[in-house]
Amino acid sequence: MCGIVGYVGRQKAASIMLEGLKRLEYRGYDSAGLAVLQDGDVALLRTTGRVAGLAKLASGKKLTGTTGISHTRWATHGGVTEANAHPHRSSDGRILLVHNGVIENYAAIKKFLLTKGYTFTSETDTEVLANLIAYHYAKEPASAETSRFLEAVRKTLLHVEGTYGIAVLSPAHPDELVAARKGSPLILGVGDQENLIASDVSALISRTQNVVYLKDGELVHLTPSGFTLSTLDLADVHPVIDTVTWSVDEAELGDHAHFMLKEIFEQPVALENAMRGRFAADGSTANFGGLNLSPADFRQIDRFVFTSCGTGWHACLVAEHLIERYARIPVEVDYASEFRYRNAPLDRDALFFVISQSGETIDTLAALREAKRKGYKCMAICNVVGSTIAREADGGIYQHAGPEIGVASTKAFTSQLLIAAMFALYVARMRDLSFADGVQYVAGLKAVPGLARRALAQAPRIQEIATRYAKYNDFLFLGRLDLFPIALEGALKLKEISYIHAEGYPAAEMKHGPIALISDQCPSVFFVPKGELFNKVVSSMQEIKARKGPIIAIVPEGLELPDGLADEIIPIPDCHEAALPILATIPVQLLSYYIAVARGCDVDKPRNLAKSVTVE
Ligand code: AGP
């Protein structure tokens, strides 16, 4: 997915847009560009590489224009080249636009436009959109100048299949922008004698805290003094102006080396925020204000279905263990990208959950829409307020973890685990969990932020281990039951930021094939459990040791491993069993971070990735 910033107002647009693009670069960073209207024409700059390169290019130009659009790209159609960088300009020069999304019928449209004399200089679907708007603009009567521009965009979008978040400008319409969304997030920032459009709040927050979340099918026409919202079928829309509650410095790097490290260390606060105001007065259960379901509704639920992608899917797996263990209600977990096409037969009284940090992941959104199409109520656990998934769900639980900028999810994940543990308690106390067990469970969760601080205190030691293990090119992560999803998460973290091949497995699965990988060149990270499985996992470790596999063991305090079995032991604080997945996650977040740094990787912007995947 890509990042878009548009500005129309009294200030010079270029510097404001560049500031916003820097905050959106986690959404895509293979090329960038901007266009401002000035001197009756357009100043257009584009470059491959990062926003910093665009800023350098801009520093050498006199960019005085006060209306502009800008973009940082994650390539979908067309390679990483300057010609494919946005903004794209129509061949008649009348229209420029930036786009986030995928136009599925672009080839047919391009073929039509070629017959009308339009030409193309890029491989992108976006350039097709620019020329199609120009085509409709040329056909529009010049009577009402302002509506001509808006009408040209509207008529174009009626012919488009696929997804888009776009911002459009035209030299014939200084002091005007048109923006529209369908399937890709777009937010209007309402300022004082200025208005902005951006892909997410972090690009707007330094100019205004008043925002309007555009919905699919809506267009907005912006001028410095105001804006009008409408829909593709010409209905007027009365805007709801929200106020953003977090401050700009929460989206700043501060004196941290990377956003990922900052967000790893923000976890105690994020965990406190997840619990704030969410325990019942009697201290024996949790309370959620946004589920929009009564206890009687929950009594009818005989199955939960959780879907998500990536790290969110790992959180679903932990939720499955906790809800089945404490509430004794069956839980099904599916990848959102699989669920949406599986056409699975479902229980009549199932309740759906999706988990999404960004609230914009297209596969998770599609799974939510599929569940609702089948008539199911769908809850969302989300971090971004006002995101598409949060708004389309029938209810849900906001994480309040604050903005997560690092592409590798950390604080959002442990926040999801804590919310899953609270939700499991909530439904369990409606079933058979006793008051006393509920009180003990609540006390266990309330202790988590402090225990997380203690787990984070291991960072220097984990950094030392990481520098010695950064040389390996294969890792296994092994855990059982609710620590198996943490093994998967640890493997994903290492993969996505250090590019090391890493796999997560249930520890007992070793014998069924993966143990063939073991040698002194393939370390294994073991999550050692408390209770009946302790000896079973120790046996798995011994099988690895017998084959000279290096072992890093994540071990709850109070548990003793046989001498010499693990090469490295990273203790985690003892805790309520529902909190163990949270505390077991922190060491592997740190391990993957420090290994990636030792290997000189770009931790916050790993190659080929983007923070939220809003295209299929
Ligand atoms: C996590 O480290 C990854 N960046 C990725 O798997 C992510 O969890 C996934 O794309 C889902 O994103 P979401 O939570 O914003 O929907």
Q: Are 610 and 26 in contact (CB under 8 A)?
A: yes
**CA–CA gap between residue 188 and residue 192 (Å, rounded):** 13
Low-confidence ranges of the chain (pLDDT < 70): 26-28, 76-77, 142-146, 614-615
Q: Identify the structural domains of the chain with CATH numbers, from first to last.
A: 3-248 (3.60.20.10), 253-446 (3.40.50.10490), 458-616 (3.40.50.10490)
Which bin fits 548, alpha (ψ -120 to 50), beta or left (φ > 0)? left
Q: What is the token pair recorded at 86?
A: 């946005």
- The distance in angstroms from the start CA to the end CA of the chain is 10
CA of 208 to the centre of ligand 1 (A): 28
Rounded Cα distance between 8 and 177, Å, is 7
| Rg, C-alpha atoms of the chain | 26
* Burial category of 70 from C-beta neighbours within 10 Å (exposed 0-12, middle 13-18, buried 19 and up): buried
Q: What are phi and psi of 416, to 5 degrees?
A: -60, -40
pLDDT digit string, tens, across residues 92-102: 999 999 999 88
Look at residues 575, 605, 572 and name the one whose alpha carbon lies nearest to residue 462: 572
Contact 170, 176 (CB under 8 A): yes
Measured CA to CA, the distance from residue 471 to residue 488 in angstroms comes to 21
Q: Is the peptide bond before 87 cis (omega within 30 degrees of 0)?
A: yes
Q: Is the CB of 364 under 6 A from ligand 1?
A: yes
Half-sphere exposure of residue 34, counting CA atoms within 13 Å on the CB side? 35
Residue whose CA is at the smallest distance from ligand 1 atom 3 = 408
Ligand 1: centre distance to CA 150 (Å): 35
Q: Which residues does 530 contact at the CB level (< 8 Å), separation at least 6?
A: 556, 559, 577, 580
Tell me the C-alpha distance between 67 and 65, whole Å. 6
State if residue 126 touches ligand 1 by the CB under 6 angstroms criterion. Answer: no
> pLDDT at position 143, please?
64
DSSP 8-state secondary structure symbol assigned to residue 68: E
Beta bridge partners of 397: 381
- Count of alpha carbons within 13 Å of 215, Cβ hemisphere only? 13
Ligand 1 lined by 414 (C-beta under 6 Å): no
Helix 125-139 and helix 106-115: axis angle, to 10°? 50
Q: What pTM was estimated for this model as a whole?
A: 0.81
SS (H, E, C) 244-312: CCCCHHHHCCCCCCCHHHHHHHCHHHHHHHHHCCCECCCCCCECCCCCCCCHHHHHHCCEEEEEECHHH
- Does any ligand 1 atom lie closer than 6 A to the CB of residue 358? yes
In the annotation, is 446 catalytic? no
Tens digit of each residue's pLDDT (9 = 90 or more) over 348-374: 899 999 999 999 999 999 999 999 999
Nearest by Cα to 601 from 500, 515, 498: 498
- In this prediction, residue 401 carries a pLDDT of 93
Question: Does ligand 1 come within 6 angstroms of the Cβ of 211?
Answer: no
Tokens representing 611 are 């923070």
Rounded distance, CA 439 to CA 250, Å?
34
**Angle at Cα 49 formed by Cα 46 and Cα 51, nearest 5°?**
70
Position 248 scores a pLDDT of 74
- Ligand 1 centre distance from Cα of residue 357 (Å): 7
Catalytic status, residue 110? no
Out of 313, 340, 358, give the residue to mutate to test ligand 1, the one with the largest number of ligand atoms within 8 Å of its CB: 358
